[in-house]
Amino acid sequence: MSRNLIIGAGLSVLFICLAALSFIWTPYDIEALDIPNKLQAPGGANLLGTDHFGRDILSMIMMGARTSIAVALVAVGIGMALGIPLGLLAAARHGSLLDELIMRGNDLVFAFPSLVIAILITAVFGASAVNAIIAIGIFNVPVFARLTRGAALPLWERDFILAARVCGKSAARISVEHILPNITNLMIVQGTIQFSLGILAEAALSYIGLGAQPPTASWGRMLADAQTLVSIAPHTALVPGFAILLMVLGLNLLGDGLRDWLDPRIRVARV
Amino acid sequence: MSILQISDLSLRIGPVDILHDVDLSMNHGQIVAITGESGSGKSITALSVMGLLPRGAVAEGQIMLDGADVLQTSEPDLCQMRGNTMGMVFQEPMTALNPVQTIGAQVAETILIHEDTTRAEAHARASEMLERVGLKVAPTRYPHELSGGQRQRVVIAMAIALRPKLLIADEPTTALDVTTQARILDLLQGLVREFDMGLLLITHDLAVVSDVADQIVVMQKGRVVESGQTQDLLVNMQHPYTKALFEASSHKVQLPARADAPPLLTVDQVARDYPLPRKALLGPRPNFRALDDVSFEIGHGERVGLVGESGCGKSTLTRAILGLEDVQEGRISLDGAPVFAGKQPNLAVRRKMQVVFQDPYSSFNPRHRVDRLITEPFHLLDNPPLGKARDVAIAKALQDVGLSPGDARKFIHEFSGGQRQRIAIARALIIEPELIIFDEAVSALDVSVRAQVLDLIADLCRKRPLAYLFISHDLSVVRSVTDRVMVMQAGRIVEQGKTEHVFTTPQHPYTRDLIVAAPQLPELPHALDPV
Amino acid sequence: MIRYALGRLTSLIISLFVASLVIFAVIEVIPGDPAAFMLGVNAQPDTIAALRAEMGLDQSVITRYFGWVTGLLQGDFGQSWTYKTPVAELISDRIWVSLPLAIYALILSTLIAFPAGIFAASRRGGPGDVTIMGATQLGVAIPNFWFAMILVLIFAINLRWFSAGGFPGWDNPLQALKSLTLPAIALALPQAAILARVMRSSLLDMLGEDFIRTARAKGLTRRQALWRHAVRNALIPVLTIIGLQFSFLLAGGIIIEQVFFLPGLGRLIFQSISARDLIVVESVVMLLVFTVIIVNFAVDLAYAAVDPRLRAKA
């Protein structure tokens, strides 16, 4: 096990534990305002200080971790659940009209960055965390579809697939029995990377107000609130920023570590 | 005086010993062949001479080339020598050239790197050199527009552009067809004479070695086990490994006799077209005819060979017979029933045939265990054996091919190439098919392993009547394991008949070309001792 | 080559067509009555009727779609409901902030990533490689808008080298560029980190290819083989990423504009979302998507310039 894997897994587990802990306990109630106690520097009664309403920043980070992880996890789930079958299908029908349609469809979605999708959805349905999930999720679909197809195509050229076809197995059965197990490692590694990108995207969407709405805590909105305070109370901007940075760094290191551990030849896509 | 003198060359990569005390000496105008099976260290010896060792390799000893010791020469000086004093040609012409540069520019680069000359002058000399190696296409072409043989000529032109004293060729013809191989070997021999250079030829093919080399060096596991003048060595081999190698290369298997039997597989006037990209934007799509009016039969228990060069339609025919792709014209039937039945494969027909592929490394799903791998054909049975019966069937299939029942729970990466081909045969035999297609099934194996697998096939024929179609580019192998042979060229079967008959009195000019081009092991003067 | 370009052009036109359909459907069909939606629940029936007439909602969906597309092709993006001015004017004022910002960032990102990636690949495993890879690991993980805030804190508030935000207009190009510099750096560095990683791994793939060994056998030094043979081949996957990154820079710019109070498309789109001015949102989104598709088309043409194998294929 590499150093990457240990540090990455450590950071990821830390944030997941913080998020899980927030369901049963946080140091303070984040909905209770305490204006006299506002903008406290870290280190006092509030370990990471307080914001402009006097709310405990550590508690908000814990609740925000929950939002970030939930949004990113579901979005990656959507991307995998739709993208992997599409990619398998395109590879199984390589060169057909269906393959062409799937790939062109993917290209088209790539022309809509998740921010643009979020803008469209928000303009019509209003802002919410669900928007963020859908917007990031839609964008993940072509990522997984392309990656799956790209990894499956060379496998389809291998003799063991031909042997399976000689044994009368259908394309669907071959995809599940022979292709899928051979791309699992790649999907795990890419899934970790997409998870980290999902955290970043969620933060960006909440920062500009297209993601989770109050009173749901989110790291991106904590930063938006901190923007005008950054010169008087830098910790209000530094703490959530470092939370995002460490969580994303942890997931990326975990992805790299998993790759080295599972199969160093894996090539991940990072967009 | 000698141009290359290797003395006591030993080499380690990390903790692994690769070469031990290798000695070799060669003169101007001489062709020296290093031969041996995979892992013998022949390629790494060649790379040592070029000073192109992989990272972490530590070499000791001496490699005297043109008065300098390569192992003691600094990297900048080595760069001066490469391409100038010594040139190298590699095995894989398809990937040896930069895809985004013209071939002329790549040849001219050798000249520009080493000599202070103008670009125009270098390009002119590159064109001359390309002509000298017999390339008849413009130097402004890109590599992807050329065939394998043409690309190998470009690589040769690059290596000899500055008339080096030593040319190293690492399996230069292994990836090429037999007729192309003959022409490239001719070219190399001609260049050696014309430039009076030394040629260090690395090859596993003993027939090539005996054909062209003045001197032979046999390597095994990083050691030179025997070396000598070709003529002397062929008549007077000393080392048991050398003898075993030559015995395996000319190995003849004993096929049991077979009685005439009714036809099993009937291929009747089959044609298969593939659409090509349109020539004009809206013009009609031209077709490439991969199979053209192909007709033949294989009787029950008959062993038939199919020879032909790459692109002749062998793979297309295999897929059509296996019922994986439909054909445009004609009929393929097995015991009277058509092999292709639309989207739903006809299991009753499919279960009568199986296939063994060339590459033992890509033939198996690396994620499955041997028992699951070899029972895959059970999918074709209506009532596949389960539980105890399945275990018995697996054990029997493994024992039939010389493996142990205990291998069933292992993964494929735990086996060597030869063992994998045995497992592939076990997979093919487990449902006792009537017909097996061996698609270049022994081509990727070392000669000694190949001989064992061929013996295994003959053994299986003795146990029960087995019909097979043996596809190979290697004429000598086909000759020894088939009753009848077909020769295929550009999608057509140009000749078929009894194997011995076709080989001794070929009728079609293409068959004659193939037989002439195939390098022959000389008849060895005395019976070799069995090892 | 011409066939290749024509093929890509066809797929460009199809992409634009489908993209416009999607955007039109989301904005004008899904809400049911866009006019009522834009005016909110408290609107008077006669104002709704007026807006309906202005938007042409009494016509069929198909007529409206073609009307919209024909308008777009002629540079007529419709009339903004909240600003009461043509959308084309609103956009043309703001695009001269957003587009230069994206291009500025793309240039910066490429200028940083190429040397860094090539340097790291040529010194694989050495201290330089380890340092660069560590830095890119951080760069990939950093949220660009937070990075922008940190830049403001350091260079605008503490050091006072730049202003903390705002845009003086293009009358004074140097001042304009200066005010776009911090935003461009904030956008570019995280993207440069990704690009440098791709460049490095693509180069390392190429350095393992047979033709590099051939080049070394000709007498090229490691460095010569890298520059003359590996770099150009390594560009092919790198170009793909550059094309994709442009869309991220454009979209990311919308966020960064918020940090620096830049009057770009981002500001316009957020004001329009809160004012429920669907006509503006529709046009700006179409414009963004259009730019991305055009850039990808340009990348496809660049492939063909780099790779002769593509020129031959349709």
| DSSP codes of every residue in B113-137 | HHS---HHHHHHHHHHHHHHTT--S
Tell me, what's the pLDDT at B364?
93
pLDDT for position A1 = 59
CA distance to partner chain C, nearest, from residue B50 (Å) = 7
Residue C81 lies in a domain: no
Sequence-distant (≥ 6) Cβ neighbours of residue C28 within 8 angstroms: C34, C61, C64, C65, C68, C278, C282
Regarding whether C266 and C135 lie in a shared domain, the answer is yes
Contact between A265 and A182 (Cβ < 8 Å): no
Close Cβ partners of C258 (under 8 Å, ≥ 6 residues apart): A207, A208, C145, C266, C267, C270
Residues C233, C130 share a domain: yes
Q: Residue B237 is part of which domain span?
A: 2-99+168-249
Q: Any chain B CB within 8 A of the CB of A267?
A: no
pLDDT at B525: 56
Residue C301 belongs to a domain = yes
CB contact under 8 A, C285 and A116: yes
Is pLDDT at A270 greater than 50 in this prediction?
yes
* CB within 8 Å: A119 and C281: yes
Q: Which of C219, C232, C309 lies at the smallest CB-CB distance from B84?
A: C219
Residue A163 and residue B355: Cβ atoms within 8 Å?
yes
The pLDDT assigned to C50 comes to 80
The answer to whether A165 faces chain B, any CB pair under 8 Å, is yes
C contacts of B52 (beta carbons < 8 Å): 213, 216-217
Is the distance from CB of B287 to CB of B486 less than 8 angstroms?
no
Determine, yes or no, domain membership for B83: yes
CB contact under 8 A, A248 and C258: no
Distances (CA, A) of B356 to B333, B346, B362, B425, C96: 20, 20, 11, 6, 65
Distance from CA of A191 to the nearest CA of B (A): 21
pLDDT for position A67: 92
Same domain, B199 and B346: no
Decide if C3 touches B, using CB distance below 8 A. Answer: yes
Q: Do A168 and B350 touch (CB under 8 A)?
A: yes
| Chain A residues touching C152 at Cβ < 8 A | 230
Query: Averaged over A23-28, what is the pLDDT?
Result: 85
Interval B307-326 mean pLDDT: 89
d(CA B523, CA B507): 24
* Statement to judge: residues C67 and C91 lie in one domain: no
Of C45, C73, C101, the position where a domain reaches its end is: C73
C220 near B CB under 8 A: yes
Kindly state whether residues C292 and C269 are assigned to the same domain: yes
Tell whether C127 and C159 lie within a shared domain. Answer: yes
Clarify whether residues B405 and B492 are in a common domain. Answer: yes
Residue B283 lies in a domain: no
- CATH code at B20? 3.40.50.300
Q: How far apart are CA B333 and CA B469, in angstroms?
A: 15
Taking alpha carbons only, the member of B135, B77, B74, B70 closest to residue B106 is: B135
**pLDDT band at residue C30 using 50, 70 and 90 as cut-offs:** confident
For residue B274, is pLDDT > 80?
yes
Is residue A239 within 8 Å of residue A223, measured between CB atoms? no
Would the pLDDT of B84 be above 80?
Answer: yes
**Residues C281, A241: C-beta atoms closer than 8 Å:** no
**B215, B89: one domain:** yes
Indicate the pLDDT class of residue B531, thresholds 50, 70 and 90. Answer: very low
Q: Do A124 and C37 touch (CB under 8 A)?
A: yes
Whether C174 and C298 share a structural domain: yes
**Cβ–Cβ under 8 Å, residues B501 and B322:** no
Residue C25 lies in a domain: yes
Residues of C within 8 A of B79 (CB-CB) are 219-221
C positions 92-151 inside 8 Å of A (CB): 137-138, 140-146, 149-150
| C248–A271 CB contact, under 8 Å | yes
Nearest to C217 among B83, B92, B277 (CB): B83
- Determine the average pLDDT of the residues in C282-290: 90
How many angstroms separate the Cα of C102 from the Cα of each of A4, A109, B314, B499?
A: 33, 20, 54, 72
Residue B106 lies in a domain: no
Kindly state whether residue B110 falls inside one of the protein's structural domains: no
Is the ipTM higher than 0.95? The answer is no
CA atoms within 13 A on the CB side of C227: 6
Instruction: Mark whether B229 and B273 lie in a shared domain.
Output: no
Does residue A111 sit at the B interface (CB-CB below 8 Å)?
Answer: no
Q: Is residue C259 part of a domain?
A: yes
* Closest residue to C143, CB basis, from A111, A204, A230: A204
For residue B405, is it within any domain?
yes
Q: How far apart are CA A144 and CA A83, in angstroms?
A: 5
pLDDT at B529: 46
Tell whether C78 is covered by a domain.
Answer: no
Concatenated DSSP letters of A226-256: HGGGTTT-THHHHHHHHHHHHHHHHHHHHHH
Question: Which residue's structure tokens are 């140097």?
Answer: C174
Of C215, C218, C308, the CB nearest to B100: C308
What's the average model confidence in pLDDT over A220-228? 89
Residues 6+ apart with CB under 8 A from C110: C192, C195, C242
Instruction: Tell me the chain A residues in contact with residue C142 when contact means C-beta distances shorter than 8 Å.
Output: 245, 248
> In the prediction, which pLDDT does B50 show?
94
Question: A118 to chain C, minimum CA–CA distance in Å?
Answer: 11
Shared domain for B241 and B321, answered yes or no, is no
**Range among A36-40, A171-175, C89-93 with highest mean pLDDT value:** A171-175
Name the pairing type of β-strands B57-65 and B492-498.
unpaired
Q: According to the model, what pLDDT value does residue B221 have?
A: 92
Identify which of A271, A222, A247 has the alpha carbon closest to the alpha carbon of residue A7: A247
Whole-number percent of chain A with pLDDT over 90: 50
Q: How far apart are CA A46 and CA A58, in angstroms?
A: 8
Residue C80 lies in a domain: no
Q: Are residues C247 and C103 in the same domain?
A: yes
Any idea which residue has 């150093």 for tokens?
A3
Q: Reply yes or no on whether the pLDDT at C274 is more than 90.
A: no
Q: What was the pLDDT predicted at C146?
A: 93
Whether the predicted pLDDT of B530 surpasses 50: no
Instruction: Report DSSP letters for C106-147, one per residue.
Output: HHHHHHHHHHHHHHHHHTTTSHHHHHHHHHHHHHHHS-HHHH
| CB-CB under 8 Å, A119 with C19 | no
**Average pLDDT estimate for A236-251:** 93
| Domain membership flag for residue B282 | no
**How many Cβ atoms sit within 10 Å of the Cβ of residue B125?**
19
Q: Say whether both B363 and B458 belong to one domain.
A: yes
Q: Which two tokens stand for residue C49?
A: 């009727």
How far apart (Å, rounded) are the C-alpha atoms in residues C173 and A59? 46
User: What is the mean predicted confidence (pLDDT) over A210-233?
Assistant: 87
Q: Is residue B244 part of a domain?
A: yes
**Residue B136, amino acid:** K
In chain C, the residue whose alpha carbon lies closest to the alpha carbon of A108 is: C15
Q: How many domains does chain B fold into? A: 2
Same-domain pairing of C55 and C97: no
Match 């380890």 to its residue by tokens: C130
Q: How far is B76 from chain C (nearest CA, A)?
A: 7
- C163 has pLDDT over 60: yes
Residues C273-290 have a mean pLDDT of 87
Domain that holds residue C227: 87-312
Cα dist from B190 to B136, B186, C204, whole Å: 18, 6, 38
Across the beta sheet with B215-220, the strand order is B86-89, B166-170, B198-202, B31-35, B215-220, B223-229
Cα–Cα distance measured from residue B158 to residue B141, given in angstroms and rounded to the nearest whole number: 15
Same domain, B53 and B187: yes
pLDDT in tens, B380-410: 998 899 999 999 999 999 999 999 999 999 9
Chain segment C98-148, per-residue pLDDT in tens: 999 999 999 999 999 999 999 999 998 899 999 999 999 999 999 999 999
Which pLDDT value is given to residue A271? Answer: 55
Contact indicator for A223, A207 with CB cutoff of 8 Å: yes
Residue B278: list chain C partners with CB under 8 A.
314
Inform me whether the pLDDT recorded for C54 exceeds 60: yes
Q: How many CB pairs under 8 A join A and C?
A: 133
How many domains does chain C divide into? 2
pLDDT at B28 over 60: yes
> Do B353 and B212 share a structural domain?
no
Tell me, yes or no, whether B473 and B368 share the same domain: yes
> Kind and range of the H or E element at B269?
strand B263-275
pLDDT at B459 over 80: yes
Does A38 contact B at CB distance below 8 Å? Answer: no
Whether residue B305 is found in the same domain as residue B179: no
C82 touches chain A (CB under 8 A): no
Cβ–Cβ under 8 Å, residues B357 and A163? yes
Confidence bin at A43 (pLDDT 50/70/90): confident
B9 φ, ψ (degrees, to nearest 5): -75, 120
From C230's Cα to the closest Cα of chain B, the distance in A is 9
Asked if C45 and C156 sit in the same domain, the reply is: no
Average pLDDT over every residue of B430-441: 93
At B286 the pLDDT is 83
Compute the residue count for chain A. Answer: 271
Q: Averaged over C73-98, what is the pLDDT?
A: 86
Q: Verify that C48 and C188 share a domain, yes or no.
A: no
**Does pLDDT of A204 surpass 70?**
yes
Give B159's contacts in chain C (Cβ within 8 Å).
Answer: 217-218
B366: three-class secondary structure by DSSP: coil
The closest alpha carbon to C253, from C271, C241, C233, C267, belongs to: C267
Residue B280: which pLDDT band, with cuts at 50, 70 and 90? low
Q: Indicate which CATH number applies to the domain containing C94.
A: 1.10.3720.10
Residues of C in contact with A120 (CB under 8 A): 23, 26-27, 281, 285
Same-domain check for residues C298 and C217: yes
Give the distance, in angstroms, between the CA of residue A249 and the centroid of all CA atoms in the same chain. Answer: 12
B206: which 2 tokens?
Answer: 């003993």
CB contact under 8 A, C218 and B113: yes
Do B81 and B196 share a structural domain? Answer: yes
- C232 in reach of chain B (CB within 8 A): yes
Provide the pLDDT for residue B103: 95
**B526 Cα to chain C: minimum distance (Å):** 42
When pLDDT is averaged across residues C40-65 and rounded to a whole number, the result is: 80
* Residue ending a domain, choose from C44, C73, C102: C73
Å between C182 CA and nearest CA of chain A: 16
In this complex, which of A158, A166, A169 lies closest to B355 when CB atoms are compared? A166
- For residue A267, the 8-state DSSP code is -
Interface test with B, best of C210, C218, C233 (most B CBs within 10 A): C218
Q: Does pLDDT of B48 surpass 50? A: yes
Q: Is residue B130 part of a domain?
A: no
Note whether B508 and B424 are same-domain residues: yes
Same domain, C22 and C154: no
The answer on pLDDT for C157 being more than 90 is no
